[in-house]
Amino acid sequence: MTSFRSRTLTEYFQIIWRRKLLIFLLAVGMLISTFFVIEKLPDVYEARATVVTSAALTDRQIVNTRVASTTERLGSRAFLEPVIKKYDPYNNAKNVEAAIADLRQDMKIDTTYRADYPERLTITYRHTDPAVAMKVATELVSVFGKMNDAVEKQASDNLSALATEINDTENKLRQVGKLRSDSAARRGAAGAMTAARAQRVAIASSIETLTDKQYSLEQQIAEQKKQIEEQQKIVKIAPGDAKGSSSYGVLLVRKAELEGQLNDYSTQYTDKNPKIIQARNQLSEINRQIAQLSAGDQGSGPVNSAEARELRSMQRELARMQTELTITQRELGRKRQNAPGIDTESTTLPSIAASATPVSGEGSETLQGDSETLRKRYDALLAKQDLLQRAQIATAGLDPGVFQLVDVPNEPKIPIGPNRAKYRWFAAALSLGFALLVAFALEIPKLYSITDDRDVEYYLGVPVIALIPEAESDGRSRKLLLGRAASAVLIALLVSAVFFLMTYLQVFTQFAALLR
């Protein structure tokens, strides 16, 4: 036998088919064993909780840091060891390291990001007991509540410290304000005396000026009256002009202007205002001149001559001087009424002003600078306090805090695994493949021996003329069949024993946990 004769696919199928009973028995035995093991796999329940984050846009970096620290704490030994000792979910409290490893494997934290901001966290825990799954998931979620409590406590401590600092700043502001008030009062004591004296001096000067003005106006009025008397004599002896001229129209226009001015002044000033008094005097003079012109039409005398016009101009100027004199007298009376004893005041003011204590300007500037600094500090503290208070206010119906628990862990009612249908298909394929492999392994030695006429032709190089069938007795065939059947049953029993041993050692349970 120099070489191995290549076989066709049909020949391989025929070789395996000769072991069809063995294949059937092995496949059925393994399938029943694996189905039994699959049915014995424990159900797995999943407890789930959802936590969302809430914070302002300016606090996103802080939220990222807190989410990272919280998730790291969830997987830490310092946090998981008390949970293992409290619930013992794996009945392996003595081997804490193995229990922590199993707990880390069964828990899962999924973080959903929007851009670079952690928007939602989903915490799941799987266990064969739904009550244990809910309890452990509740312990896992409690980390976020503790983080909220820590943040709230820190915010409360900050608010308390801010309130204390604000009170201290308010006290300092009051002290500085009192010092500034005292300083201003001391400055005012001296400044008031100086200002009062300056006011008295100004009033005295004003009274003197008004007195001079009154005397000047009286002299001007007396002189104006003399000139008017002389002009009236000239008008009487002057020839009369023709009745009716453009002066009458000018007077009517001037009258309309003065009436308009009076209407405007009446809405802005009182009746005693100098402008209203002067306008009324001018209007009276215009009315008088119009009356003279009207009387001139009846032959009362020359009213439109140059002398008459000059007389009227002088009379208007006299009326203006009289009005100005009246205003000056009224102003002089008010000044004297507001400053009685103006002559004796000059002797008392210097002694009072001398008794006032001067105040240093440098100290006043220092107090003002301290007050401004404290005011800015006070405003900054109030703004910070407002931000902390707004951070503690509930928004959108959620509780205050960085982490909002929207789905609490509940006891699951429906298992999420194992997927027995998938395992059954896998077991069927595995059983059939194992049976075919065993059958093929038993037939491999025959591939190197002469079993049919094609092997004879291949190895001897001569054609086969005839085939002589091998005579077998019924007893031998029956023994051969029983031996094969016994071998198949024995192999099936061995395979089943191996599967039961693996079940006892929880190999399939661990395998199912890995598949989860």
pLDDT by residue (tens digit) across 291-325?
777 665 544 445 556 777 788 888 888 888 888 88
Same domain, 21 and 103: no
Q: In what order do the strands lie in the sheet with 403-407?
A: 107-114, 117-127, 45-53, 403-407
Give the type of residue at 138: T
- Confirm if 464 and 456 have CB atoms less than 8 A apart: yes
Q: Band of the pLDDT at 507, cuts 50, 70, 90?
A: low
Same domain, 510 and 445: yes
Same domain, 18 and 51: no
Domain that includes residue 65, residue range:
45-165+396-407
Which of these three, 384, 407, 430, is where a domain ends?
407
Number of domains in the chain: 3
Residue 49 has a pLDDT of 93
Residue 463 has a pLDDT of 74
Closest of 63, 3, 353 to residue 191, by C-alpha: 353
Inside any domain, residue 200? no
Distances in Å between the Cα of 62 and the Cα atoms of 59, 123, 340, 389, 391 are: 5, 21, 75, 17, 13
Same domain, 120 and 13: no
Q: Provide the terminal-to-terminal Cα distance of the chain, rounded to the nearest Å.
A: 53
Inside any domain, residue 3? no
Inside any domain, residue 278? yes
Inside any domain, residue 261? yes
> Does 271 score more than 90 pLDDT?
no
Residue 253 has a pLDDT of 77
DSSP state of 3: S
Furthest C-alpha separation in the chain:
191
Phi, psi of 368 (to 5 degrees): -65, -40
Which of these three, 304, 322, 354, is where a domain ends?
304
Q: Is-above-0.75 flag for pTM? A: no
d(CA 435, CA 33): 14
Quick one: the chain helix, strand, coil %, rounded to 5?
75, 5, 20
Q: Based on C-alpha coordinates, what's the Rg of the chain?
A: 61
Residue ranges of E strands in 87-233: 107-114, 117-127
Residue 183 has a pLDDT of 74
Same domain, 14 and 110: no
pLDDT over 90 for what percent of the chain? 5
Inside any domain, residue 181? no
> Does 351 score more than 80 pLDDT?
no
Average pLDDT over residues 221-249: 70
- Confirm if 498 and 36 have CB atoms less than 8 A apart: no
Which of these three, 304, 336, 353, is where a domain ends?
304
* Category of 217 on φ-ψ map: left (φ > 0), alpha (ψ -120 to 50) or beta: alpha
**Burial tier of 324 (Cβ tally within 10 Å: 0-12, 13-18, 19+):** middle
Inside any domain, residue 320? no
- Confirm if 100 and 382 have CB atoms less than 8 A apart: no
Same domain, 22 and 65: no
d(CA 284, CA 270): 19
